[in-house]
Amino acid sequence: MPPTLFQQALGAAFFRLPESLRRLHASRGQVRYAGRADIERGRSPLARLCAWVLRLPPSGQDVATVVEFQCEPARETWRREFGGARLVSTLSLRDGLLRERLGPVQLRFALHANDGAIWWTVAGARLLGVLPLPATLFDGVRCREYEDDERYRFEVEAALPLVGRVVRYAGWLSPA
């Protein structure tokens, strides 16, 4: 079987990750996970505009969360639902970087496995697929996946210069 995107991106480090991360990122075909998340959106007018353009979920505590992963060797589609609010992104791998298309923005992430976690760091971005954006604009975009209590957990934070926090969400998922 060909390696998954995350196996390709992380190489041998993938196999040293905790079980819940390996299970999720070794998935093939369609899989469904469910859990809960806390979501905090930014309050500034620019943060609200960015969140609207990207169709980010509204703020909420202990929100029912479902993620359907469609995993193919060269591409994954993540369909997230946070209490009824949907967020879809497509991931692919090129030149060792994980590319995530989210609305009109494509982010390029370097993935690192360290201390039992996967850390996502923005290495580049494009608007509408053609306009390059400086990676330094996205220094406030961070993602960490880790295991706690044998459960897959995630933390995502996106803050931009002059905009401030756009969104922060964190929670857990288990196979549904």
Cβ pair 31, 163 in contact under 8 A: no
At 141 the pLDDT is 93
- Per residue, the 3-state secondary structure of 52-118, as one string, reads HHHCCCCCEEEEEEEEEEEECCCEEEEEEEECCEEEEEEEEEECCEEEEEECCEEEEEEEEEECCEE
The domain tally of the chain equals 1
Paired tokens of 32: 């469904």
pLDDT along the chain (176 residues), means of 10: 92 95 94 97 94 92 97 93 94 94 91 95 89 90 94 96 94 96
The secondary structure of residue 139, as a DSSP letter, is T
CATH number of the domain enclosing 18: 2.40.128
Q: How far apart are CA 88 and CA 139, in angstroms?
A: 22
Long-range contacts of 108-116 (CB under 8 A, 24+ apart): 108/135, 109/143, 111/6, 111/9, 111/10, 112/13, 113/10, 113/13, 113/14, 113/16, 113/17, 116/17, 116/18, 116/146, 116/147
Task: Give residue 21's domain range.
Answer: 5-175
pTM, to two decimals: 0.90
At 135 the pLDDT is 87
At 130 the pLDDT is 83
Q: How far apart are CA 77 and CA 18, in angstroms?
A: 23
